[in-house]
Amino acid sequence: MKAVVLVGGEGTRLRPLTFTTPKPLLPIANQPHLERQLAWLASHGVDEVVLSMGYLPDAFHQHFRHDRLGHDVFGDVTLRYAVEDEPLGTAGAIRFAAEGIDERVIVCNGDVLTDLDLGAMVRFHAEQGAEATISLTQVDDPSAFGVVPTQTDGGVIAFVEKPAPGKAPSNWINAGTYVLEAAFFDRIPPRLNVSVERETFPRMLAEPGLLFGYQSDAYWLDIGTPEKYLQAHADVLAGRAGRVPAPNAREVSPGVWVQGDAMIEPDAHVEAPVLLGANARIEAGAHVTSSVIGAGAVVETRAELSGAVLHDGARVSHGSSVRASVVGADAVLKPDVALAAETIIGAGITIPSGTRISGGRVPAERE
């Protein structure tokens, strides 16, 4: 089975992290999010994936060791690359990436973390004789999403984009995974900027019996904002998206996971859930709770982390604190720095001693 993963967005809401790293390659609990998606797809029988790229395509090539043949292999999945010369929208990107494919295709957004049962969704799609099926998930407040009310058999009735609070006809929203028959691609004009959510799918409503919604209570999260990016780490640590939070992680005490030769020094205070990457170190006198620490990252003595995410090589110097914030790769917090309220520090940045930041963004330089 083949799949297309849409990874072309600029990830503006997660800047400055995405100045240097595309959003799908940002780590979730020390594993690039896209790798988690590929493993999920492979577990449901997908053996070939086309990455639909636009923003920073070389980063994907380098990460997956792209070769001159235009494809390579990640685990049991063969990867191919489709690079847009200019933005084509979601529908245009799907058609461009699926060029030459004449069979059923799974399509998913590159910023969704889910354990959706793809096999069950594909069976539902086939049983309904659908041309396109949209995965749907329930949310408490659908006002920030595209709402998709359906009939009892799953047939889509309408699309309501970001309804006013309390005015939504349903709390089932478009969850960003689609099952599409090859005939669907003919509905999309080639090489044009077209939205599948706002144009292609709504136009199908004129032909009843072709477009369905598949309702699922599976875990689902859009990781595209600082709040949700942090939540993704917390959810993975809590086991909501799989028992083991990261590859090769071992549980050294309940809820405390380490990879490789990570070190927790005696007299360091660590409260689960916590994940330490390979060669990471928590020094004596540090206090760490509900946090993810990347490979080679260091938390010095008297530093405090709570709900924090440190990317690979980051350093939190003595007396500093990080609360519900992200410190990018190789960034350094000098002594007595305090970060809070979803602050994001870009890769390679050094924050001077005594700095206090709440809800801020400290950008990395563009390359």
| Rounded CA separation 93/361 (Å) | 30
- Our answer to whether residue 162 is catalytic in this structure is yes
User: In angstroms, rounded to a whole number, what is the distance separating the alpha carbons of residues 222 and 113?
Assistant: 6
User: How far is the C-alpha of 218 from the C-alpha of 176, rounded, in Å?
Assistant: 13
Residue 332 DSSP SS3: strand
Q: Which residue has the tokens 């995410």?
A: 309
Q: In the 3-class helix/strand/coil scheme, how is 153-170 assigned residue by residue?
A: CCEECCCEECCCCCCCCC
The alpha-carbon radius of gyration of the chain (Å, integer) is 21
H helices present in the chain, as ranges? 17-20, 33-43, 57-63, 89-97, 118-128, 201-204, 226-237
- Specify the amino acid at residue 68: R
Strands 256-258 and 250-253: antiparallel
- Alpha-carbon span 21 to 293, nearest angstrom: 18
* 306/238 Cα distance (integer angstroms): 15
Active-site annotation holder among 162, 167, 228, 334:
162
Distance CA(115)–CA(106), nearest Å, equals 15
Task: Tell me which residues are annotated as active site.
Answer: 162
